[in-house]
Amino acid sequence: MRKGYAKELIFAMALFIAFPSWAAHPLITDDAGTQGKGNFQVELTGQYDRDKESMGKHSVKTKVFETAATLSYGIVDNIDLVLSLPYVWEREKEDGAVVYKENGIGDTSFEAKIKLFEKDGFSLALKPGISFPTGDEDKGLGTGKLGGHIFSIGSKELGSWVFHANLGYIRNENGADERENIWHASLAATWEVVKNLNLVANVGGERNPDGETNEDPAFLVGGIIYSVNENFDIDFGVKYGLTDPKTDVSTLVGLTFRF
């Protein structure tokens, strides 16, 4: 039986919690929009992951609950500074017996979103960032080293539809013999069905940090975003793993405040 499965799963999750902070929750794909000079945004998000691995007569079940607080501030109209801190609880059972249980903060990320171009509903942005090893590496809650990433972001508005595309590179410095060069690619769409209510969909994948496999994790997200008013959003989504390395299913919830 594969030992320490939950710890490896948490390490991979911590990697993508810390690098970068995602926008327009429950989407994974970021948008090119910025807050505007002097404006703040606070996102409070939660994610509950459930995964099961079967190996003959044996089974490994992993459950993870992760929360994150993300603060964005517009230093000028086209540049945001973004700070994100996650906290994770996780548990692994082998054949019904609890064999692993940990919780703690993950790695903190600090980013800048820079809008480079905007015209006729189309915008481009870059989002470089740094992750700080605030998570406990021994518990699988962080990488244990300073890391970095950079993402290119494109967004296009077409009536009630908005489309987003991300391409990213993550420098995964770590002490767990994981791959150090990680790519990310994803596409997302939002559709305003009625005023203040958007349906969202998202598909994408990343390079697997596990160097012992060439199968990469891929995901599909579906959800809704309801704007109570122009400064307060509530969201809900479900994320499915499309390949074996990705968590089977995740439930996503979030609150977004702007002021």
More confident residue, 19 or 197: 197
- Number of domains into which the chain is organized: 1
Residue appearing with tokens 């703690």: 104
Averaged pLDDT, 238-253: 91
pLDDT of residue 103: 92
Checking if the pLDDT of 19 tops 90, the result is no
Q: Nearest-CA neighbor of 134 among 108, 163, 173, 111?
A: 108
Checking if the pLDDT of 218 tops 60, the result is yes
Checking if the pLDDT of 223 tops 60, the result is yes
pLDDT of residue 2: 40
More confident residue, 14 or 182: 182
- Model confidence band, residue 92 (pLDDT cutoffs 50, 70, 90): confident
With a pLDDT cut of 90, the percent of the chain lying above it is 70
Here the CATH number for the domain that contains residue 104 is 2.40.160.40
> Domain span at residue 221?
5-258
3-state secondary structure 38-107: CCEEEEEEEEEEEEEEEECCEEEEEEEEEEEEEEEEEEECCEEEEEEEEEEEEEEEECCEEEEEEEEECC
Candidate from 209-213, 219-223, 253-257 with smallest mean pLDDT: 209-213
pLDDT of residue 22: 55
Checking if the pLDDT of 7 tops 80, the result is no
- Side chain identity at residue 4, one-letter code: G
Is the preceding peptide bond at 20 cis, omega within 30 degrees of 0?
Answer: yes
- Model confidence band, residue 206 (pLDDT cutoffs 50, 70, 90): very high
Residue appearing with tokens 């006729």: 120
Please provide the average confidence, as pLDDT, over all residues in the chain: 89
pLDDT of residue 53: 81
pLDDT, tens digit (0-9, with 9 covering 90-100), for 99-137: 888 899 999 999 999 999 999 999 999 999 999 999 988
Checking if the pLDDT of 63 tops 80, the result is yes
Predicted TM-score (pTM) of the model is 0.87
